[in-house]
A and B are shown apart, each in its own frame.
Chain A
Amino acid sequence: MDRRARGLRVAAAGTVGRAAAAAGIASMAAWEGVQGRQSVASHASILAVVGGTLALAAVAGRRRQRCRTGDWARGLLRSRGTAPVAGSVLWAVLVVVTVGWDLASFLAQRRWLPTLSRLIGAVTDHPAGRGALFACWIALGLYLALGWRRPRAEGGP
């Protein structure tokens, strides 16, 4: 009974925490939406989000990484069968094509060759688009900092 009550309390605290985080992200995104791209306030808020997320990754993720970098790198080199390898190669091709075309468009500096950031700029020029994309960016950062961790009790590298 005691264990069940503790479990319920932990679940409730998690729900409240997630709701508070969502409300915080939404209000920050609404504020960021009306900031100019070159404003000091905008730069300060971006740096604050980056700094806070990196600190969160270091503190909350301490001893909760799934494997050591050396083991991870050796695991990458281990054969996993044809389909996973071919699939991974295609992911890499998509990334290389995207980055390569963006770089080529940037170097060409032609109006008819827009870079990816110019396309995204069409969205972030509007306060709603900028705010929504900022919220997505913060959410992605939180996932990259806290996601796919070892459960707290297990410990780890």
Chain B
Amino acid sequence: MTPGAAVWAVIGAGWVAWLVVTRLVGPLPGIERVVRLLLGSWLGRAVALAAWAEAGWHVFGQRP
């Protein structure tokens, strides 16, 4: 594993750990609350859709 890949593994582990913690600890906002907060207004929804479109174009249409 390259040093860069190791850093990605640590970042990925951080995401998983935080997802688990927010599911177990009630007052902490979980991923559903964050997404619903974003989708609560047209602005947040537009930003999320723009990021989604750009990610799709990059992953499926461009050379990584």
Contact = CB atoms under 8 A, between A and B. Distances in A.
B53 A50 contact: yes
Interface of A: 32, 37-38, 42-43, 46, 49-50, 53-54, 57, 61, 65-69, 71-73, 75-76, 81, 83-84, 86-88, 90-91, 94, 97-98, 101, 105, 110-121, 124, 130, 133-134, 137, 140-141, 144-145, 147-148, 157
A3 B56 CA distance: 43
Contacts of A112: 2-4
Interface of B: 2-5, 7-8, 11, 14-15, 18, 22, 25, 27-29, 34-37, 39-45, 48-49, 52-53, 55-64
Contacts of A120: 59, 64
Contact of B27 (A46, A72, A83, A117): A83
Nearest to B47: A144
B27 A114 contact: no
B2 A97 contact: no
Contact of B8 (A73, A83, A101): A101
